[in-house]
Structures are given as structure tokens and as C-alpha cells.
Amino acid sequence: MSKYGGTTLRDCKSSSKGGIYKRSRVKNRILEKIDKKRDEMTKFLKELVRIPSVVGHERDAQKFMEKMFRDLELEVYVWEPNVAELRKHPAFFKTTSYTKFGYKGRPNVIGKLRGSGQGRSLILAGHIDVVSPEPVSAWTHDPWSAEIVDNKLYGRGAADMKGGIASMVYALKCVQETGIRLKGDVILESTIEEEDGGVGGTLATILKGYRADAAIITEPTGGCNVGIASAGVMYFRVKVVGKSAHAASAHFGVNAIGKVIKIYNALSELNKKRQAKISYSPAEIYPDMKGHVTTINIGKISGGDWPSTVAGWAELECRVGWPPGEELEDVKGQIERTIEKAVKRDEWLKENPPKIEWFGWRAEPHEQDLNHPIVKMVAEFVNEVTGKEAMFVGGSAGLDTRFFVRYTNVPAITFGPRGFNLHSIDEYVEIDSVVETAKILALTMVDWCGYE
């Protein structure tokens, strides 16, 4: 059971503490600068959203990010992932985008601002890849248009997570333009393939040696929630063999579709039992998530070759996700034992056992200690800038933060703007929230790194 299992959390709420902090003149200048840069920040975000960067095709967007980092006069590093090095790490798995496209022409882009010394360093990171916008015909707003209506900027990736990238870039830009000299280093990272597991992205940057005293990944968290956990995620498929026969004499065959349905039912029953048993408060910040913090999703079923032939094969493809509290091998074993029990109850399946394949996503869950200074600092600045009390959330989705927390000594959180319809039609991010997020990141940067 997670140490957060007994807490009760709600969505960000107004706080009577908002505005009581006394800001230095330096911080006031930063906030004023960000307000003045609102239109420029929005223009940058529009241009970025208009560059399609569906996972596997990140190159053009990364060229855009490289130019921006060079315009900021950062030390810029552009490089493609090294698969031989990645394979040595325990978190490595072959992502589906790597299997399909490889890593050639899919670089990560790093921009480093060196501090004057004696300050803590900070990574601000975001993934440039987005999911497919299909079916495009269902969108009210063109997914690559970056159309703005009533403070909402629409487009694929506007919220997940180019809005967060705009916030982190302009947080640093405005600190620079205010004339502040930071003591600690700041590293901006624009990474690839997070939507497919992040192996060639954030994990690759860690293995390349990019570390800091803390990291913030600007995933959308509502503009006032601090993400302190991510889910474990695995993909698997179950292949069943039947016996083909002509439909006119189907009684001579064994229909694999009917057999795979028995496994479907067993997995569905396991899903119900797990959902009734497992809870995790940071993932249950919204009431409709209660009882759904873990899910075995049977996302694809296929089988057979012809209506006039008894299906000689069938298979399921599934995703299992779960919050902190269980390890990957334990969940994997539970699923495999469930399938084995279903097989034992069927004579055909006992004689012709199905094949289980684990592929694609293979991510352990993570939790970040709430008492770490970077968590408290961001939560305080959320209150100062928005007047709302920060809520601690996470555990329902796989995130790149796990690479920092589980495999390095770098504390990491997610924090980003407010957006809706992620991975769905008419995705959008609220521009006001992008600006507020930039303010919170800038204030955090100045306090965390220190300045002269």
C-alpha cells in the first residue's frame, strides 16, 4: 500500500493564504516581464503546435526547438539515441516507434544555461512528440491550426505537452531578459517518444550524463496540481490457436475466437477484482477515478481469415496500468496466472496453450517524497501566483519522471498548465494557465538555483 493511500485529495481549491508572500523587486520584475511576453509566448506556442510531431516523426519540431535554444544563447546539444547504450539499462525496452522507425533523424535537443557557480541545478523538460490526431474529421478545429478561441489554443499536443514547453522556455527567457545571473545551471530538455515510453528520450538524456539537483517535467497538471507519482504500464498480447475448417463443416474445427473470449472474460474478471481492491489517493483527486486507478484494458481483438472458414487463430492486445504499491513483476505474474487458470478449464486450451508476449511499454511506477524541498517550493509558488492550494496528484499514467526518481538520485515532479481533451478530439490548452505556469517555473528557478 502506498504511503499516500489514506489521504484525501481534491482538485485545486482557493486558499486564504494566496498573496501573503512578500516578493522581492527581482521577482516582481520577472513576473512583469512574463506578462509583457504573453503575446510572444503565445506566438511561439502556435508555431510549435503547427509543426506535426506525431511520435516517430519528431525531427521538424526538434529543429524548431534547436533554433529557439540557440536564440536564447544556450549551450546546445543535439544527438540521436544510442541503442547499444540504452540496452544496458534495466528500464530499456523496445518501443513500438523504435521498432517501426528506429532513432535516425529523431534527435533529443538540450539547452544549457551555465550558472555562476555555488547554486543548485535544475532540469526543465518536456516531450516534443504527440499522439495521432485521427480521426481528424471528428475535430471542430484543425489539429494543426493552433486556432485560439476564448483563451483556448486548440491543436494536437497543445496541452500534451507543447503548452508546458512554451512555459519552461519563456520562464528561462524572461529570467535572462530581466538581467538576473543565476548561480545554478538550468538545463532545458526537448525529448522524443514519451508517448511510447520515453526510452529514447528522457532515459537517453540521463544515460548521456544530464543530471541536476532537481527536475520538473512540464506535463499538463492543471496549472495548480503538483505531480508526485506515475503509473506502472505494460503491454501484452495473448495468441490462441484453433483448428481451421470449412464453415459448412464447422463441427470439424475449433474456433479460436471463441477460445480467446474465455481469456478475455478471465482478464475482465481480474480487472474488476483489482479495481475493487486497489486505491491510490493522488490518482483519485477526481471522484470519477475512484475504483479505476488500475485498469487491464483489452484494446484490440483480432482473429480468423475468412467468413467461410472456422477461425484458426485469434489474439488479444492489452495494456495494464497500476499506481505505486505493486512492482512490475508482481503484476505480470498475476496476469499470467489468471490466463493459466482459464487455460486449465478448457480441454482444447490445455492441449494447445496460448502464447503470451510482453511487448512495448514496460514501465515501473514511481513516487516522489512530498517532503522534498522542490515539491514544497513549487507548491508554495502555485499558491502565490494562482491563489490556490496545490494538490498532489499522479499515479494513473506512465510518465518520464520515473526515470529520474527510480534510477537516479534526482528528485523529480511534473507540473504544467491546464488543458483538456488530451489524446482526444479538440485538444486545447488555456493560454492564461501557460502564462501562470511560466511564472511559477521562473520563481522556482530563481529560488532553487539562487542568483547574484
The one-letter amino acid code at 295 reads: T
> Hey, is 186 helix, strand or coil?
strand
Measured CA to CA, the distance from residue 94 to residue 81 in angstroms comes to 13
**Alpha-carbon distance values, 127 to 134, 275, 451 (Å):** 20, 30, 28
**Residue 129: active-site member:** yes
Asked whether the beta carbons of 309 and 244 are under 8 A apart, the reply is yes
440: enclosing H helix or E strand:
helix 431-449
Measured CA to CA, the distance from residue 349 to residue 344 in angstroms comes to 7
Tell me the backbone φ, ψ of residue 191, rounded to 5 degrees.
-115, 165
Tell me the backbone φ, ψ of residue 149, rounded to 5 degrees.
-140, 120
What does the DSSP assignment read for 98-122? HHHH-STT--EEEEEE--SSSS--E
Q: Which of 58, 66, 129, 213 is catalytic?
A: 129
At 158, list the grid cell.
497543445
**Residue 194: active-site member:** yes
Q: Which of 189, 193, 194, 426 is catalytic?
A: 194
Distance of CA 119 to the CA centre of its chain: 29
Enumerate the active-site residues.
129, 194
